């Protein structure tokens, strides 16, 4: 009996799944979790999480998530063998390959550029309508109408007293309508017959008001067109040379932009970079394309309008990989599963394509 019990215990121990420690760091939409709750209650989600869960299922292993705050800390954790592997949005580079091993590519991407949506291509009429809308708040409209009302009454009274003038009707109702159209016309042109005295002074002063209004509007639209030209002139990475470009200080895009010749503005995270471009303190934000697209969609959805946009061109092709300590036996097993995950099943999309549709839609 003791022999049977011992055999059953040994069998149960053998049948238990191996548990792997997998390091992750937050990086939308690859790895996301609520950071303000205890690690035991966290439930990470994202492209990388779904991908690893499928890998773990194929390898018949359990997963213990180990949380890191930065890519460098996650890489150090792998180097020191604190964890069995790390997954997030980790770019495969030759420099990193010296200290750790990468899986085969889990995702192919390139750098992209985020700019303030108001500085991308738009027609002059669209810009004018937008700027006029900014100027014409309720207080401005009320003040303008009051000023116009006083002016047209004053002009009609002066004209009524001139028996030789036929510019306005002498009747109040008809005369005020005539005077109203005079006021609107005189804002942008000079069409009244030559007058003398007070009438000429009123005509001249009202025409100056029109010139000032048109000049202010022209200046605002010109400024908007100049700002648009900044964003609209970026057609490739070469157009970033000399421009003020925000990049995350600890990420690979920083080194590329420095070599390119951009005026690099270092930021701690993408939220800080997005704030800079929206405030006009940076002309562009450069980072991994899929993450910028995800964040742009998220921000525009929250604000219910297009406030930031990601330009369509890509450059500096990159690959994301899963990281292991050197000579890890796990790497080859994971590579085989990654190949399997990319294989389509007849007319059905591969799991890899399904994950892209789920987490990385571009619209």
My answer on whether 248 and 162 are in the same domain is no
My answer on whether 299 and 209 are in the same domain is no
Taking the CB of residue 293, how many other CB atoms lie within 10 A of it?
Answer: 19
Whether 131 is covered by a domain: the verdict is no
Whether 127 is covered by a domain: the verdict is no
pLDDT tens track for 138-193:
887 888 888 888 888 888 888 888 777 777 888 888 888 888 888 777 776 666 55
Residue 362 binned pLDDT confidence (cut-offs 50, 70, 90)? low
Whether 343 is covered by a domain: the verdict is yes
Give percent of the chain with pLDDT exceeding 90.
Answer: 47
Last residue of a domain, one of 231, 252, 287: 231
Whether 73 is covered by a domain: the verdict is yes
CATH label of the domain that carries residue 285? 3.40.190.10
Q: Residue range 44-60: average pLDDT?
A: 96
Whether 132 is covered by a domain: the verdict is no
Segment (H or E) for 317: strand 315-320
Among the listed residues 319, 356, 354, the one whose alpha carbon sits nearest the alpha carbon of residue 93: 319
Residue 37 domain boundaries: 2-106+321-359
Q: Residue range 42-57: average pLDDT?
A: 96
Cα(331)–Cα(325) distance, integer angstroms:
9
pLDDT tens track for 331-352:
999 999 999 999 887 778 899 9
Question: What are the E-state strand segments in 97-162?
Answer: 101-102, 107-116
Among the listed residues 90, 48, 29, 49, the one whose alpha carbon sits nearest the alpha carbon of residue 359: 29
My answer on whether 36 and 25 are in the same domain is yes
Last residue of a domain, one of 204, 231, 258: 231
Q: Which string of DSSP letters, residue by residue, matches 246-269? A: EEETTSHHHHHHHHHT-EEEEESS
My answer on whether 240 and 217 are in the same domain is no
The domain total for the chain is 3
My answer on whether 156 and 217 are in the same domain is yes
CATH label of the domain that carries residue 213? 1.10.287
Whether 176 is covered by a domain: the verdict is yes
Residues 85, 23: contact at Cβ < 8 Å? yes
């Amino acid at each position: 009996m003791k022999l049977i019990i011992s055999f059953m215990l040994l069998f149960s121990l053998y049948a238990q799944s191996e548990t792997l420690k997998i390091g992750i760091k937050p990086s939308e939409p690859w790895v996301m979790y609520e950071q303000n709750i205890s690690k035991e209650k966290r439930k990470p989600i994202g492209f990388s999480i779904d991908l690893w869960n499928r890998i773990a299922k194929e390898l018949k292993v359990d997963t213990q998530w180990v949380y890191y705050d930065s890519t460098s800390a996650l890489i150090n954790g792998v180097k020191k063998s604190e964890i069995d592997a790390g997954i997030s949005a980790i770019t495969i580079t030759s420099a990193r390959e010296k200290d750790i091993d990468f899986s085969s590519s889990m995702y192919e991407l390139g750098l992209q550029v985020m700019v303030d949506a108001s500085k991308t291509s738009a027609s002059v009429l669209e810009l004018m309508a937008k700027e006029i809308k900014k100027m014409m708040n309720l207080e401005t409209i009320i003040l303008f109408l009051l000023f116009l009302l006083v002016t047209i009454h004053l002009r009609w009274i002066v004209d009524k007293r001139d028996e030789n003038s036929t510019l306005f009707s002498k009747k109040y109702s008809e005369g005020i309508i005539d005077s109203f159209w005079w006021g609107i016309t005189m804002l942008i042109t000079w069409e009244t017959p030559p007058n003398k005295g007070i009438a000429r002074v009123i005509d001249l002063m009202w025409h100056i008001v029109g010139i000032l209004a048109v000049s202010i509007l022209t200046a605002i639209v010109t400024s908007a067109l100049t700002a648009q030209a900044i964003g609209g002139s970026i057609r490739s990475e070469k157009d970033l040379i000399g421009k003020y470009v925000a990049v995350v200080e600890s990420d690979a895009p920083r080194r590329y932009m420095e070599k390119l010749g951009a005026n690099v503005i270092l930021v701690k995270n993408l939220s800080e970079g997005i704030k800079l471009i929206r405030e006009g303190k940076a002309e562009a934000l450069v980072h991994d394309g899929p993450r910028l697209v995800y964040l742009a969609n998220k921000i525009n959805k929250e604000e219910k309008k297009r406030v930031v946009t990601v330009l369509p061109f890509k450059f500096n092709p990159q690959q994301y990989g899963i990281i292991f300590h050197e000579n890890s036996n796990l790497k080859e097993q994971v590579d085989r599963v990654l190949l399997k995950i990319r294989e389509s099943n007849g007319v059905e999309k591969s799991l890899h394509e399904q994950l892209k549709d789920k987490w990385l839609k571009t619209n």
